[in-house]
A and B are shown apart, each in its own frame.
Chain A
Amino acid sequence: MNDPSVHRVADEVSVQSHSLNGAEIETPPASAQLRELQKLLFDTDQQERLEQLHTEWNDPEHLAPRVSQVLPDAISQRSPEDHELTEAMTPYVIESIKISARRNPEHISDAIFPILGPAIRKAIAQAFNNLTITINQTLQHSFSVRGFKWRLEAMASGKSFAEVVLYHSLVYRVEQVLLIHRPSGILLLHAVAEAVKAQDPELVSGMLTAIQDFIQDSFGTGEGNTSSFVSDELTILAEPGPRAVLACVVRGNPPPELREEMQETIERIHQDRGEKLKMFEGDSTPFEVCRPLLEEHLKSRYQPFADPEKQKAPKAMLAVLGVLLLALGIWGFFSLRDRWRWNAYLEKLQTTPGIVVTEQDRGWRRYSLSGLRDSLALDPAKLMPEFQLNPRQLDARWKEYQAPELAEERAKKLLAPPAGVTLKVRDGILSVAGLASQQWISEAKKLAPFIPGISQFQWNDADEIARLRQEIESQSVYYFLNENKPLPGQEETIEALIKRLIRLDEIAQNSNRTITFRIIGHTDSSGTKEKNQTLSRERAQQAKSQLASRVAQLKKVQLVAEGVPDQQPLVGNQESNRRVTFRVELGS
């Protein structure tokens, strides 16, 4: 208690008490109050009390509790009148916040995160609104580069400007939403749009976290920044909060409002589940309640860019005309350069598969070509812009022919292989490998010989079988002690096994061979040999019937269940031995 302001208060009080003494001598005892005062002053008992009061006033230790009683009232009475108090206190408040932030930034960031988010968003939304208005205006008056390009495109294609704008407008679909714990990268919750296949979201979430760390480490961007990762078709938006990250996997162009919505969601989750996030130890069940929040983001949208009604601006036409005139001038000026470009273009055509040029001619702003062209070959006219030549000035006569060097492209076009299937043509043999449905394979087999340049079809299933086999044999299903009942939570494993089993059967049918799918039950080393014999067989049987009930008739794969009582256990860990494993054996 060495606050100087308290001492000052005490000094003032003692000064006042002196002047009270002086007042008593001069003033007649007119009022009752004054009489009271006199009594106080001349009564020795009272005198002692007064002295006590005096020392109390001067002793900060006694004064403090008394002041503290009136302090809140005093402040509340004072503050509305003027700003002095506020001004006096401001530096202290600021200093204390600074110290607190320095000592433990987490407290402050936890406290202000829910408020800060909305505030920042508001400011950004405002800025965005202004921006959008500007863009719209610019677009209507066609002074933006994009506006120009779109108008030119509209003129060239004969479409209305509005149509072109719509074509370029944003179409997107949020396919997956992941809630990821920070900093472990463990997946807390995962929502998937209908009919979207999501592969191992647990690994994706780990990888996303690793990538974010990687970016932070490599480019030194601050902790907690939003980020996005873009590929040709997919964008991943990551919106971090202090303890969890929300990530959206988006097909197409994600709109700006998605970011805001994601911010709101991650804030909500921190508000509702903050404590659970803090205490997270690997159990993600408490976050299941947030599922609806995540699912809200699973939507697709078609977003028109501007109002098609307002697209008729005469000014714009003038501007376009001006540019065209200018372009014409440049054209004339550089016409000499044309010759060089034309030659380069012809050279390119000569090396393009499926095109044979037999005659060519070049006149004033006019080109002519004739020869042979495979319909799969690149369009010669489309190659022209690359050489700064105008395709509209080309007069081309092509005779259709089927170039042998394009057999592979032809096969790809005609057979439409599913993703992951590779087609290769060498010496007239089409060899196909990868993951394909039975239907596609038999169709391709029938069609292949009719494709010019292809005489034979070859299906290569060795790679796929080897992969399936490795995948199947690395799986295990675990069981309760002394029971033929599997532990819960293994649906994913069963699902993966079934998928591969079905595929194996397809392949076996296709190559007309038989496959034995061995289901082997194991036990731990506790219990008698006889007991384990039975138990291992029962576990295998259980797994077999579980698989069999989920796949339709298998034609070429035979399921065999057998038990191996583990006198020599697979591994040292007892519970790991209570399991069923799988073997794939290829017949002839």
Chain B
Amino acid sequence: MLQKKICMLGSFAVGKTSLVARFVRSIYSEKYHTTVGVKIDKKQVPVEDKLVNLILWDLYGEDEFQKVHMSYLRGASGYLLVIDGTRRETLDKALVLQQRTEEAVGKLPFVVVMNKVDLKDSWEIDDRTIEELVNKGWQVFHGSAKTGLGVEDAFTALARQLV
């Protein structure tokens, strides 16, 4: 079985932890995350006729933007870049984050999740902006950790890039 380390990236409260929770079942309680600062989960996803074991790394806490350092990214095969559609500034942060990550560990496969699509009424990011991302060659998914929409697709699309 193929195993791949995946990192969750995005600024605070965009829904990284919620997306992982939607996607997997975890054995670790909150207590561990606060001390170590990272939460690890796994999930099998099918890619064609094979299963890939995604080992998902999620940072715990608030100042995630500061904390994206090497030890978290080292050995990762790809990452999920999460943006909160209801907060425009999380997009700007994501762009910086993506660049920093590339500087730190080189080009890696990744997908973008525009999260909280269930709150489309209070959306702050218009379709034109998203189109710009797509034109850069980025794979963008609309998703909701709350309803589950698009979550699995985003993860499996990333897995597909890894095999």
Contacts and interface: CB of A to CB of B under 8 A. Distances in A.
A491 to B, nearest CB: 10
Interface stretch (A67-75, A153-161, A470-478, A544-552): A470-478
A575 B46 contact: yes
B74 interface: yes
A282 B77 contact: yes
Given A183-B74, A207-B36, A214-B36, A489 B44 contact: yes
A203 B156 contact: no
A493 B40 CA distance: 18
Contact of A210 (B36, B51, B53, B156): B36
B5 A186 contact: yes
B157 A573 contact: yes
Interface string A453-489: 0000000000000000011001000101100000111
Contact of B45 (A185, A199, A203, A576): A576
A200 B26 CA distance: 10
Nearest to B74: A183
Interface string B119-163: 000000000000000000000000000000010110011001010
Interface in B33-90: 35-38, 40-42, 44-53, 55, 57, 69, 71-72, 74-77
Contacts of A203: 27-28, 40-42, 55
Contact of B44 (A182, A470, A471, A493): A493
Contacts of B24: 474
Contacts of B52: 282
Interface in B16-33: 24-25, 27-28, 32
Given A186-B5, A207-B32, A573 B156 contact: yes
A281 B77 CA distance: 8
Contacts of A282: 2-4, 52, 77, 162
A493 B4 CA distance: 18
A216 interface: yes
Nearest to A493: B44
A264 interface: no
A217 interface: yes
Nearest to B5: A184
Contacts of A481: 49
Nearest to B53: A202
A270 interface: no
Given A186-B75, A199-B27, A214 B37 contact: yes
B3 A210 contact: no
Contacts of B50: 487
Interface in A357-388: none
A210 B38 contact: yes
A573 B28 contact: no
Contacts of A217: 69, 71
B150 to A, nearest CB: 8
Contacts of B74: 183-184, 213
Given A203-B40, A214-B36, A571-B153, A478 B75 contact: no
Interface of B: 1-5, 24-25, 27-28, 32, 35-38, 40-42, 44-53, 55, 57, 69, 71-72, 74-77, 150, 152-153, 156-157, 160, 162
| 4 closest residue pairs by CB, A with B | A184-B75, A213-B71, A183-B74, A206-B40
